[in-house]
C-alpha cells in the first residue's frame, strides 16, 4: 500500500468522480483508476460503487476513508512539525514552569521574546518540582523553569538562571508589618501558611526557620501563591514568598518585609533533556533566556 494510492483514493472519494479527481491531482485519469484498482485488489474489497456517472463509497469504503483521512492529516501535521523543528523563527515552544513564575516573570519574558520572534507559538504547562522533571524526560515539554536546579540528574541538565530573595509576608495589622526589615526568629510565635508537600518553596522556608532557631507552627497549607498571599492578607498567618510572587493583584494584599537574618533565597533553573536535541525554535528561546539573564555558557 503506497501513500499515492491513499491520496488518490481520498480525492476520488471527495469528488465522487475519477475525471475530476485526476484534474485536481494533475495526473491522467487512467493513473487514478489504476491506483484505485490496485488498492481494492490489495484490500480484497470494493471501495466504490457506480451511481450514475459518479462513484459512491461502499460501506467498507466509508469506514476506510474516515481512517485514511485521519492518517493523512496526521502525516501532514508531522511534516509541518518537522519543518517547524528546523526553523528557529517558526513553530511551537512547549514550556513548563512553577506557578510562582506565572504572575510576573514569565509574561514579561514571553512578551520580550515575541518582539523578536512574532510567529512563534507557546504551549505552557504548570507543575511542581517532580512533575516538571517528569514532563521534560517524557518530552511533554521542551524546556522547564524549575526551583531548585536538580543536582546530577541522569536524564536532564540545565543552568541556574536567577537567584531571588524571599520576603516575609504579614497581615497588614501585624505588629511588624511597618518594619523595613526583620529577623526571621521574630516570627517564631506566629502561625505559618506554607506550600503543600512537593512544592520546592516549602523546604526552603522550613530550612530557613530551623536556621533561625525554631520550627514553624503550620496553620494552613496551599498550592498557589495567590492562595497563600490571600490567607496572609486575611490575617490567618504569616509566610515567606519570593518577590516575583508579590506583585499586587487585588485590593487585599499582605505586608512585605525584608528578612535580614538569615538571608533566604531560592534559585531558579532552566532544564532540558540531556540526551535529545531541542527543536531550533526552542534552542533560540534558550539562547534568548541566557542573554536575558546575563549568562555565559556553552550550549549543546
For residue 286, give the C-alpha cell.
Answer: 534558550
134 & 276 share domain: yes
Return the DSSP state at 186. Answer: G
pTM of this structure? 0.71
Euclidean distance between CA atoms 228 and 234, whole angstroms? 10
Q: Give CA separation, 163 vs 33, 242, 298, in Å.
A: 67, 10, 20
CB 216 within 8 A of CB 201: no
Domain boundary among 85, 116, 146: 85
Instruction: Say whether both 17 and 105 belong to one domain.
Output: no
* CATH assignment of the domain containing 149: 3.40.190.10
Looking from the CA of 52 toward its CB, the CA atoms found within 13 Å total: 3
77 and 16 in a common domain: yes
Cell of 155: 536524564
Residue 297 reports pLDDT greater than 80:
no
Question: 51-72: b or e for each residue (b if 16 or more CB lie within 10 Å)?
Answer: eeeebebbeebeebbeebeeee
Beta strand 143-146 pairing with 92-97: parallel
Q: Taking phi first (over 0 means left), then psi (-120 to 50 degrees means alpha), and beta for anything else, what does residue 81 get?
A: alpha
Q: What pLDDT sits at residue 276?
A: 75
Q: What's the whole-number mean pLDDT along residues 55-67? A: 93
H/E run at residue 67? helix 59-85
* Residue 176 and residue 51 share a domain: no
| Residue 300 pLDDT | 53
By 3-state DSSP, what share of the chain in percent is helix, strand and coil, each rounded to 5? 40, 25, 35
Domain-embedded: residue 298: no
For position 183, which CATH number holds? Answer: 3.40.190.290
Distance, CA of 264 to CA of 166 (rounded, Å) = 5
The torsion angle over the Cα atoms of residues 231, 237, 242 and 246, rounded to 10 degrees, is 40
- The CA distances from residue 247 to 84, 99, 253, in Å, are 36, 14, 9
Cell of 181: 526589615
Last-in-domain residue among 56, 85, 114: 85
- 76 and 110 in a single domain? The answer is no
Let me know the angle formed at the C-alpha of 125 by 206 and 114, rounded to the nearest 5 degrees. 115
In angstroms, what CA-CA distances link 47 with 10, 53, 57, 59?
11, 16, 6, 8
Please state, rounded to an integer, the average pLDDT across all residues of the chain.
Answer: 91
What average pLDDT does the segment 275-281 reach? 83
Measure CA 207 to chain center. 29
> Pick from 278, 279, 292: which is nearest to 157 by CA?
278
Residue 79: the pLDDT is 80
For the chain, how many structural domains are there in total? 3
Tell me: do 65 and 27 sit in the same domain: yes
Query: What CATH number is attached to the domain comprising 64?
Result: 1.10.10.10
Range(s) of the domain holding residue 276 = 95-161+269-292
Higher local confidence (pLDDT), 3 or 82: 3
More confident of the two residues 253 and 84? 253
Give the tens place of pLDDT for each residue, 145-193: 999 998 877 899 999 999 999 999 999 999 999 999 999 999 999 999 9
Please say which residue of 85, 111, 142 terminates a domain.
85
Chain segment 229-249, per-residue pLDDT in tens: 999 999 999 999 998 888 766
Among the listed residues 96, 82, 109, the one whose alpha carbon sits nearest the alpha carbon of residue 141? 96
Mind listing the pLDDT tens digit for each residue in 70-110?
A: 898 888 878 867 777 777 787 889 999 998 888 788 999 99
Q: Which pLDDT does position 73 carry in this prediction? A: 85
| Residue 133 lies inside a defined structural domain of this protein | yes
Taking phi first (over 0 means left), then psi (-120 to 50 degrees means alpha), and beta for anything else, what does residue 26 get?
left
Give the pLDDT confidence of 190-226 residue by residue, as tens digits: 999 999 998 999 999 999 999 999 999 999 999 888 8
Q: Percent of the chain at pLDDT above 70?
A: 97
Helices and strands in the chain, H and E counts: 9, 12
Q: Smallest Cα–Cα separation from 283: which of 1, 106, 89, 62? A: 89
Q: Do 56 and 101 belong together in one domain?
A: no
Amino acid at each position: 500500500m503506497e501513500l499515492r494510492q491513499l491520496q488518490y483514493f481520498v480525492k476520488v472519494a471527495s469528488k465522487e468522480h475519477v475525471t475530476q479527481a485526476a484534474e485536481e491531482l494533475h495526473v491522467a485519469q487512467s493513473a487514478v483508476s489504476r491506483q484505485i484498482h490496485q488498492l481494492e485488489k490489495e484490500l480484497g474489497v470494493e471501495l466504490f460503487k457506480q451511481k450514475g456517472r459518479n462513484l459512491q463509497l461502499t460501506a467498507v469504503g466509508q469506514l476506510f476513508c474516515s481512517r485514511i483521512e485521519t492518517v493523512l492529516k496526521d502525516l501532514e501535521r508531522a511534516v509541518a512539525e518537522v519543518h517547524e523543528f528546523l526553523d528557529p523563527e517558526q513553530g511551537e515552544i512547549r514550556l513548563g514552569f512553577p506557578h510562582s513564575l506565572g504572575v510576573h516573570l514569565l509574561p514579561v519574558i514571553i512578551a520580550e521574546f515575541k518582539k523578536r520572534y512574532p510567529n512563534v507559538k507557546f504551549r505552557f504547562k504548570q507543575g511542581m518540582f517532580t512533575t516538571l522533571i517528569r514532563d521534560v524526560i517524557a518530552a511533554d515539554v521542551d524546556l522547564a523553569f524549575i526551583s531548585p536546579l536538580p543536582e546530577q540528574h541522569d536524564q536532564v541538565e540545565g543552568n541556574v538562571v536567577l537567584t531571588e530573595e524571599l520576603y516575609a509576608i504579614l497581615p497588614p495589622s501585624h505588629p511588624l508589618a511597618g518594619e523595613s526589615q526583620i529577623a526571621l526568629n521574630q516570627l517564631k510565635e506566629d502561625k505559618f501558611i506554607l506550600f503543600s508537600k512537593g512544592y520546592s518553596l516549602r523546604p526552603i522556608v522550613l530550612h530557613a526557620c530551623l536556621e533561625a532557631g525554631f520550627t514553624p507552627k503550620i496553620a494552613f497549607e496551599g498550592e498557589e501563591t495567590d492562595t497563600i498571599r490571600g490567607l496572609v492578607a486575611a490575617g490567618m498567618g504569616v509566610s515567606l514568598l519570593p518577590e516575583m510572587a508579590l506583585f499586587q493583584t487585588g485590593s487585599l494584599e499582605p505586608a512585605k518585609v525584608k528578612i535580614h537574618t538569615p538571608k533566604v533565597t531560592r534559585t531558579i533553573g532552566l532544564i532540558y533533556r540531556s540526551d535529545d536535541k531541542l527543536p531550533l525554535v526552542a534552542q533560540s528561546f534558550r539562547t534568548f533566556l541566557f542573554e536575558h539573564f546575563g549568562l555565559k555558557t556553552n550550549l549543546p
